[in-house]
Every structure is written in C-alpha cells, then in structure tokens.
Amino acid sequence: MARSALPAANHCDDALLTRYARRGSECAYANLRMLARVAGTIYDEALRPIDLRAGQLALMWAILAAGPVEIGRLGVITVTDQTTLSRTIAKLRKARLVSLRAGEDRRVKFVSLTPAGRQRFQAAMPYWEEAQRRASALVPLDQVRTLARQVRHAARRTS
C-alpha cells in the first residue's frame, strides 16, 4: 500500500475496523498458520522420544525418497527456502543423520541419509503413525493431501 493511501495517524474509521474484525476468520494466512502450529505440535510431541522434530523428519523423508539429492533440488522438492533448508540440514548433519558430498562441480552438494539416519527414520515411523492418527482426528488427511498437492503445483508454477 502506498504511503499516501494510509490514513492519518490520529484517525481511525471504527466502523471499517469493526467490519474487518468480523472477517478475521477468512484470512488464509492466519488459518494456515494456525493449522501448521497445531499440526507441528502434534508431530513434534509424538517424535520427541526419538529426538526429532517434525520438520527434520519431513526433510529426511524427502531425502530418502529422492536418494542422494542436490541441495537446490531438495529445496524445490520440499518448497523450502535456502536458509531454512541449510539450517535443517546442518542440524541433521550435526546429529550424523545426513551426509554431504560434493558433486563433479565442487559448488554443488548432494545430501543423503547416513546409516544412522536411515535407522532413526525407521524408528520414527511408529511415532509418525501415532501423530497421523491424532492429526486425522482433527482434519481429514485426504483433504490435507489434496490442498498440499494444489499448493505444491502452484508454488512450482510461480517460482
């Protein structure tokens, strides 16, 4: 919004504010963030016994599925920004759950699960199953998958 379009600092249209206050439940951002917080809590709590966070398990899953994968490609697959991706990979690497190796072009790095990472992933599955069960009690998982597929396709078209 252009600065000139902002109302004077000492003037608020209370009627306008009241109308928008009633529409808060329509906000896609707020609703998606709330769903993400609730889901994150469910999965993080379920995975706590094996010392993994939901985001770490999700990234390990993508690495397992893609095989040794170039980090940039992993970001595209998971629709994850480079900063978040690098930070999560660093934590997994410190825990010895993933390894990095240089490609033929030394600037390109490939990530893969270590044997310990594969073992931890396998150990996580019963906890993940429990989290899935708890999440499905809140929202139908087929609807979540459909929405995720739509968002993933839209994100790839715009990037």
Residue 119 pLDDT: 98
Q: Provide the 8-state DSSP code for 25.
A: G
Residue 12 pLDDT: 83
Question: Taking the model in full, what pTM does it have?
Answer: 0.81
- Token pair of 133, please? 């069960």
- Token pair of 123, please? 């150990």
Residue 4 pLDDT: 55
Q: Which of 153, 63, 152, 74 is closest to 114 using CA atoms?
A: 63
Residue 7 pLDDT: 57
In angstroms, the CA 34 to CA 28 distance is 10
In angstroms, the CA 3 to CA 1 distance is 6
pLDDT in tens, the chain (159 residues): 455 566 556 678 888 888 888 888 888 899 889 999 999 999 999 999 999 999 999 999 999 999 899 999 999 999 899 999 999 999 999 999 999 998 888 788 999 999 999 999 999 999 999 999 999 998 898 998 998 889 888 887 876
Strand residue runs (E) in the chain: 69-70, 98-102, 109-113
**Is residue 114 within 8 Å of 64, Cβ to Cβ?**
no
Pick the CATH number of 27-158 from 1.20.1260.10, 3.40.109.10, 1.10.10.10, 1.10.357.10: 1.10.10.10
